[in-house]
Homo-oligomer: A and B are copies of this chain.
């Protein structure tokens, strides 16, 4: 008997397969697509949803409430849309502390205000506590979001074109490593903090007709996002290993844990594929903002090869695949 495994919830191939086999095949319609996180409806609206199940609920740099607002705001922003409205639905296990719920709600309210979105509708369900006294009662938050796509903007994972410059908005792997550290108490030295942030302000600063792809590399990391873009756009992608910014403390933690930062989740970063003529202007606009100060051009889209490749420090190319199994459950 086939059952759902934790790896079906990763950002990798197994997750994609179940989505295709179980959901896409049944829900098929002209608007639903697997490539982008948001659907385009009514001409100029983007519509998206995400569930958040992160553990622990509070972590350095954020909490499940902040994450639930940023995640859906970012899915809209990655379609070039201005986020406007959010719904928020709570599934809470009995025994969850009221004070923690209030902190989470405050965090959502603060984050929504900063991002300029309104939480306009919601639902609350309480479920019986499972498994006795341990583990601690859980909370799951599902947000859906609606945004407006400015006239003339057409951003999609299938729009990358050979020659496009690839801009990465900052350091990678901060979120995934911080959650691992918070959960397992590895006790890594240095300031490990999730990058959890709303990206719509940064996107607004450089969005133009010359932006073809926007993508936030969450589950599955930068590697999964680039592979999906390469496949959807039928281009190859070459990135320079040396150009990828990784904080020293994150790099050290990755080394110790045997992880490649390219596969580790982010919650406040994006990659943008822009026309070559626009790359300097885009980079300048992004770098001028606090969240984008480490932004850099990491590579280009190309025609000749098949897949995603990393140019190593010694100049050779090695293929960069997607994660097969599950690196870390409940990362977001």
Contact = CB atoms under 8 A, between A and B. Distances in A.
Contact of A135 (B37, B109, B125, B130): B130
B90 A51 contact: yes
Interface stretch (A26-34, A157-165, A250-258): A26-34
Contacts of A329: 126-128
A130 B29 CA distance: 36
A31 B120 contact: yes
A41 interface: yes
Contacts of A85: 31, 39, 41, 47
Contacts of A84: 41-42
Number of copies: 2
A296 B106 CA distance: 45
A84 B41 CA distance: 9
A220 B38 CA distance: 34
A328 to B, nearest CB: 11
A181 interface: no
B142 A32 contact: no
A92 interface: yes
Interface string A120-134: 111111111011100
Q: Interface residues of A toward B: which range?
A: 35 or more
Contacts of A137: 3-4
B97 A1 contact: yes
B96 A3 contact: yes
A92 B7 CA distance: 12
25 contacts: A1-B97, A1-B98, A1-B99, A3-B97, A4-B97, A5-B94, A6-B128, A8-B92, A9-B92, A9-B126, A18-B124, A26-B105, A27-B122, A32-B121, A39-B85, A49-B144, A50-B89, A51-B91, A53-B91, A125-B140, A126-B329, A127-B330, A128-B329, A142-B144, A146-B146
Shortest 6 CB-CB distances between A and B: which pairs?
A: A9-B126, A131-B131, A144-B144, A49-B87, A142-B142, A39-B120
